[in-house]
Amino acid sequence: MARPTYDPLRALAIGTQAAGLIAIITLETVLGDGARPWQGVTLLLMLAAALSIAAVRLYRHKRAQRERDRRRMTDE
């Protein structure tokens, strides 16, 4: 079966990382050296989003794998 051309989770991952990078650069521009703690918070949020998306991808992959295995067992 062909893979879909559009992956919403991949788009979400790219979007959250791009938004985080823009936020970090904007904080540095606006706040100067006072931005360091906020940049750290932004980085932690980016990491949390990436880990959450990875967990959802893994869950979906395992669920699809279980379904394929179940179908294979019923076909045999």
Q: How many CA atoms lie within 13 A of 68 on its CB side?
A: 7
DSSP 19-52: HHHHHHHHHHHHHGGGGHHHHHHHHHHHHHHHHH
Task: Kindly report, residue by residue over 11-66, the tens digit of the pLDDT.
Answer: 999 999 999 999 999 999 999 999 999 999 999 999 999 999 999 999 999 999 99
Task: Kindly report, residue by residue over 37-49, the tens digit of the pLDDT.
Answer: 999 999 999 999 9
Cα separation of 67 and 72, whole Å? 9
Cα separation of 61 and 33, whole Å? 43
pTM of the shown model: 0.79
